[in-house]
Amino acid sequence: MPKILIIGATGYIGQALALSLMRSGSHTVYGLARSHEKAKSLEALEIIPVKGSVSESAAYLDLIRSANIDIVVDAAGANTESKKILDDLVRVGSERLEEAKRAGIKTAKLGFIYTSGTWVHGSSTEPVNDLTPVGVVLAPTQPPQLVAWRPQLEQEILAASDVLDVVVMRAALVYGGAGSIWTGLFSPLLEAAKAGSSIVSVKAEPDSMPGLVHVDDAASGLHAAVDKLPLISGTGVYPVFDLVTSQESMRLVLENAAKALGFHGRVDMAGVDGDFFAEAMSTSFNGSSSRAIQLLGWQPKRFGFVQRMDLYAKAWAASRE
């Protein structure tokens, strides 16, 4: 039974992945927890907690060594701290290979799956896919400032393939459940509904067409990567996969969310005004997940945010109470 360690297991995508792996019955799932309360929450979900954090990595690195963890998934969204995770895993992965060499045996590399995002493509009006260059001169567009650092990290992860089996999974803008990433856009709508306002201003580009994926589908894509990593490593397959199920109008997203949250006035999409997060949320993505479907066997099941907005907006609101 493969042993999987999830960094970010108490987070939005990380917890959905942990539950998906646990419910499959074919993995032993460990989750990193920075507090006693978060550790107990993982235990309640039948996930084995590992006390520690990205900055206090000794505990989970010792676990990787002692339990011979097969794959580590970084679902933490930890920005620059993700570089530390990579450096730590390269060190532990190198140790594993050196020990096997001294013993005169062959051993599998430590696996590493990094959760990136399709924002690295920038606002792509022309079709792009996971083979399209990102963050370099040859790239058709540049990523928004919020994630301008991420293409370089992806390249460093791919360059670590001599000691790690690596995959980069790029989820589109995630929705569903608590969906806290939507709080900056949905909160003004809810507050305007409670105040009885006739107009509300939201920081978003009116013509943006973000790529979207439900949190459960993002998790199932990562789950597929966990299962297929031993099969694609060393085959020459470019181990980068975009996960997207729809491209939808941000105007329709916000107008339908407003109605679902009880606001029936005018939604004014005022642009991003230099706000890095709002800029990223307004990133358009004309992409494809054909390689994830064909090579990883990904089978997404949710195909629209706007059409079920009454359900999704209310789930977001309920999580805030």
Dump pLDDT digits (tens) for 197-224.
999 999 999 999 999 999 999 999 999 9
In which residue are the tokens 């606001």 written? 263
- Taking only the tens place, the pLDDT of each residue in 230-254 is 999 889 999 999 999 999 999 999 9
Pick among 3.30.1330.10, 3.40.50.2300, 3.40.50.720, 3.30.530.20: CATH of 3-175+212-245+287-301: 3.40.50.720
- The token duo for 116 is 């990136």
In the chain, how many H helices and how many E strands?
A: 11, 12
Contacts of 162 (CB under 8 A, 6+ apart): none
| Cβ-contact 113, 71 below 8 angstroms | yes
Per-residue pLDDT, averaged over 254-277, amounts to 94
Is the torsion defined by CA of 225, 46, 57, 179 positive or negative? positive
- Residue 66: exposure state from Cβ atoms within 10 A (0-12, 13-18, ≥19): exposed
So what's the pLDDT on residue 124?
80
151 by DSSP, 3-state: which?
A: helix
So what's the pLDDT on residue 239?
97
The mean predicted confidence, pLDDT, of the chain is: 94
Q: How many CB atoms lie within 10 A of CB 222?
A: 29
Contacts of 196 (CB under 8 A, 6+ apart): none
Per-residue pLDDT, averaged over 56-70, amounts to 91
So what's the pLDDT on residue 79?
74
Taking the model in full, what pTM does it have? 0.95
Whether the predicted pLDDT of 123 surpasses 90: yes
60 by DSSP, 3-state: which?
A: helix
Residue 108 is given by DSSP the state: P
* Nearest-angstrom CA–CA distance, 23 and 30: 13
So what's the pLDDT on residue 66?
93
- Taking only the tens place, the pLDDT of each residue in 99-120 is 999 999 988 899 999 999 999 9
